Amino acid sequence: MIYLKEIEGAEGMSWKWHERGNFTYLTIPKWSAEGIDLGFSTRVGGVSHVPYDSFNLGLHVGDDPTAVLQNREHWLDQWGVPLSKVAVGEQVHGTNVLWINEEDGGRGSRELETAIPATDGLVTQSSVGLMAFFADCVPLFFYYPDLKAVGIAHAGWKGTAHKIGQKVLECFEEAGGRTEDAWVAIGPSIGPCCYSVDERVAVQFRANYHETPFLHRQEDGHYLLDLWEANKTLFLGKGVRLENIEVASVCTADNPEWFFSYRRDGARSGRMAGWIRRVVSS
């Protein structure tokens, strides 16, 4: 288990902890230097009440929509971006990936009804920001320098088992991108210290991966599942260079003071946001 205070000392860690007043988030300076806004929020610094206290960014969890929108506006203020320039997908634990254009700005940013239907992966070459929501599932971030394109994906155990990360890479490849030059980041999620799954889950990984070193069988017949390693294994197998994969290695379930967790807290829990945008010079 790696706590936020230890992030900078973690092996290969390039995610950095940012504080601005009572507002906190994680980012990767290496990506920022390339003109890529990337961030992962925490539960700290918002206006939502228990059990969504306090920086809940999910509209679909039962929180007061007014509070959620206030939190979203505060989050985007950090990047100087209005809600009208953000696209959000309807997350269904699937593997659908969609290209986003300028006209998609605002979809799902203020209400659930306008979100891009049944889509867990978004990619774009436009200036529209991409946002997805998490409470244990893995946030995946993508940057293809040759295409000047970015992407984000929501990868829980289902999305990881069915390789949504690979499907995102394939979208970029179909557009002419070179995966060997791609950058990928794996954000905070439930870690192998806390994620016990049963044979029903394990069998789906075995069906889709040649090897499953990220499944650790326990004496009770369950498995500890390492979603970070599963996604990293997938990316390496697709040709992403090891030095271009940034893994946060921070467990959301094991850090209740900083993160929401569906596994720990149940359905009435908030959501963090993953955010990425290509900064386009005017």
Task: Specify the pLDDT at position 20.
Answer: 78
Predicted confidence (pLDDT) per residue in 7-16, tens digit:
433 444 689 9
Tokens found for residue 115: 């979100």
Query: Can you give the pLDDT at residue 93?
Result: 98
Strands 245-247 and 183-186: parallel
Are 142 and 168 in contact by the 8 Å Cβ rule? The answer is yes
Tens of pLDDT, residue by residue over 195-212, are: 999 999 999 999 999 999
Instruction: Band the pLDDT of 282: cuts 50, 70, 90.
Output: low
pLDDT tens-digit profile of 197-250?
999 999 999 999 999 999 999 999 999 999 999 999 999 999 999 999 999 999
The alpha carbon of residue 76 and the mean position of all alpha carbons in its chain are separated, in whole angstroms, by 16
Are residues 123 and 151 in contact, defined by beta-carbon separation less than 8 angstroms? yes
pLDDT more than 90, % of the chain: 91
Q: Is 24:14 a contact under the CB 8 Å cutoff?
A: no
Q: pLDDT tens digit string along 67-99?
A: 999 999 999 999 999 999 999 999 999 999 999
Asked: is 4-191+247-278 a CATH 3.40.190.10 domain? The reply is no
pLDDT at 3: 41
- For position 9, what pLDDT does the model report? 34
Residues 6+ apart with CB under 8 A from 232: 186, 245, 247
> Of 133, 148, 131, which is closest to residue 85 (Cα–Cα)?
131
- What is the distance, to the nearest Å, from the Cα of residue 198 to the centroid of all Cα atoms in its chain? 24
Q: What is the pTM of this model?
A: 0.95
Give per-residue pLDDT as tens, 129-177.
999 999 999 999 999 999 999 999 999 999 999 999 999 999 999 999 9
Measured in degrees and rounded to the nearest 5, phi and psi for residue 274 equal -100, 140
d(CA 49, CA 61): 13
